[in-house]
Amino acid sequence: MTDELAIGDFVFRQRNVEQGEALPRAYDAVVAGLSWETRGSTALSMLKSVGPELTLFKFASRSQEIEDAKALQLRTFLTLQPDLTIKDLDASTEAEKNFKAIKAWLQDLYAKAERPLSILLDITCVPKTYVLYLIGLGFSDELVARLDCLYTPGRYDLVSGGAAAPPALTGPRPLLSEGEWHSRQIPYLEASEYIANDADLLVTLGGELGLSVPFIERFEPRRLGLICIEETSPSRNVPMLQSERMAYDELLREPNAVQEDIKLCDAVGVARHANAFIENTAARGATMMAIGSKPHAIGIALAALSDPRVEVVCRTPASYRAVDVHPSAEPMFYEIEDRFDPASYIAPRRQAN
User: What local confidence, expressed as pLDDT, does residue 237 receive?
Assistant: 75
Q: Tell me the per-residue pLDDT of 288-313, one tens digit each, with 9 for 90 and over.
A: 999 999 999 999 999 999 999 999 99
| Amino acid, res. 179 | G
User: What local confidence, expressed as pLDDT, does residue 117 receive?
Assistant: 96
Q: Is the pLDDT of residue 343 over 70?
A: no
**239-278 burial, b if ≥16 CB within 10 A, otherwise e?**
ebbebbbebbebbeebeebebbbbbbbbbbbbbbbbbebb
CB-based contact 114:122 (threshold 8 Å): no
Structural domains for the chain: 3-156+323-344 (3.40.50), 170-320 (3.40.50)
User: Which of 194 and 314 is assigned the larger pLDDT?
Assistant: 314
Prediction pTM value: 0.89
Q: Tell me the per-residue pLDDT of 237-265, one tens digit each, with 9 for 90 and over.
A: 777 778 788 888 888 887 788 999 999 99
User: What local confidence, expressed as pLDDT, does residue 245 receive?
Assistant: 83
Q: Which helix (H) or strand (E) holds 306?
A: helix 294-306
User: What local confidence, expressed as pLDDT, does residue 228 receive?
Assistant: 92
| Strand pairing category for 332-338 and 10-16 | antiparallel
Per-residue pLDDT band at 320 (split at 50, 70, 90): low
Instruction: Report which listed range, 7-21, 191-205, 232-246, is most confident.
Output: 7-21
Q: Is the pLDDT of residue 29 over 50?
A: yes
Q: Is the pLDDT of residue 346 over 70?
A: no
